[in-house]
Amino acid sequence: MRQRVVIALALCVNPKLVIADEPTTALDVSIQAQIIKVLKRLCADHGAAVMLITHDMGVIAETADRVAVMYAGRIAEIGPVSDVIKRAKHPYTHGLMGSIPVIGHDLDRLTQIEGSMPRLTEIPRGCPYNPRCPRVFDRCRAERPDLMPVDRSRVACWLYDQEVPAHG
Amino acid sequence: MAERDAPLVRVDGLSKNFDVSPPFLERVLARQGRTMLKAVDGVSFDIPRGKTFSLVGESGCGKSTVAKLVVGLIRPTAGSIQFEGADLASLTSRAQMQPIRRRLQMIFQDPYASLNPRWRVADIVAEPIRAHGLIEDKGAVLRRVGELLEQVRLSARDGEKFPHEFSGGQRQRICIARALASNPEFLVCDEPTSALDVSVQAQILNLMKDLQRELGLTYLFISHDLAVVYHISDYLGVMYLGRLVEWGDARAVFREPKHPYTRMLLDAIPDLEMSGRRRIPVAGEVPSPISPPEGCHFHPRCPFADDRCRREIPGDTPTATGEVRCHGIEEGRPMTLERATAEV
Ligand SMILES: Nc1ncnc2c1ncn2[C@@H]1O[C@H](COP(=O)(O)OP(=O)(O)O)[C@@H](O)[C@H]1O
Ligand code: SF4
Ligand SMILES: [Mg+2]
**Residue B41 within a domain:** yes
CA distance A164 to A142: 15
Asked if B115 and B138 count as a contact pair (C-beta separation under 8 A), the reply is no
**Residue B168 within a domain:** no
A149 lies in which domain range? 66-168
Contacts of A159 (CB under 8 A, 6+ apart): A91, A135, A166, A168
**pLDDT tens per residue across span B268-306:** 777 666 555 555 566 677 888 888 999 999 999 999 999
Asked if A89 and A150 count as a contact pair (C-beta separation under 8 A), the reply is yes
Residues of B with CB under 8 A from a CB of A: 58-59, 167, 169-170, 197-203, 205-206, 209, 224, 226-228, 230-232, 251, 254, 264-266, 268-274, 279, 281-282, 284-286
Total domain count for chain A? 2
Shared-domain flag, residues A109 and A41: no
Nearest chain B alpha carbon to A114: B203
pTM score of the predicted model: 0.89
Nearest chain B alpha carbon to A111: B202
**pLDDT tens per residue across span B144-182:** 999 999 999 999 999 999 999 998 999 999 999 999 999
From A64, A83, A103, the end of a domain falls on A64
Nearest chain B alpha carbon to A107: B231
User: Which residue type sits at B63?
Assistant: K
Q: Do B270 and A62 touch (CB under 8 A)?
A: yes
Shared-domain flag, residues A76 and A53: no
**pLDDT tens per residue across span B197-251:** 888 999 999 999 999 999 999 999 999 888 999 999 999 999 999 999 999 999 9
Tell me what ipTM this predicted complex has: 0.81
**pLDDT tens per residue across span A60-80:** 888 899 999 999 999 999 999
**Residue B120 within a domain:** no
Residue of A22 and B163 predicted with greater confidence? B163
Query: Is B299's C-beta closer than 6 angstroms to any atom of ligand 2?
Result: yes
Sign for the CA dihedral angle at B73, B134, B206, A78 comes to positive
CA distance B330 to B316: 8
Asked if B234 and B226 count as a contact pair (C-beta separation under 8 A), the reply is no
Q: How many beta carbons lie within 10 A of that of residue B205, not counting itself? A: 22
The pLDDT, as a whole number, for residue B61 is 93
**Residue B319 within a domain:** yes
From A64, A89, A107, the end of a domain falls on A64
**Where would I find the beta strands (DSSP E) of B84-120?**
86-87, 104-107
Shared-domain flag, residues A36 and A89: no
Asked if A8 and A35 count as a contact pair (C-beta separation under 8 A), the reply is no
Give the closest ligand to the alpha carbon of residue A28.
1
Report chain B's mean pLDDT, rounded to a whole number: 90
Out of A82, A98, A113, the one facing B274 most closely (by C-beta) is A82
**pLDDT tens per residue across span A24-49:** 665 567 677 777 777 788 778 888 88
Is 70 exceeded by the pLDDT of residue A8?
no
Out of A86, A98, A110, the one facing B205 most closely (by C-beta) is A110
The pLDDT, as a whole number, for residue B316 is 95
B324 lies in which domain range? 3-103+185-343
**pLDDT tens per residue across span A103-146:** 888 988 999 998 888 888 899 999 999 999 999 999 999 999 99
CA atoms within 13 A on the CB side of A89: 27
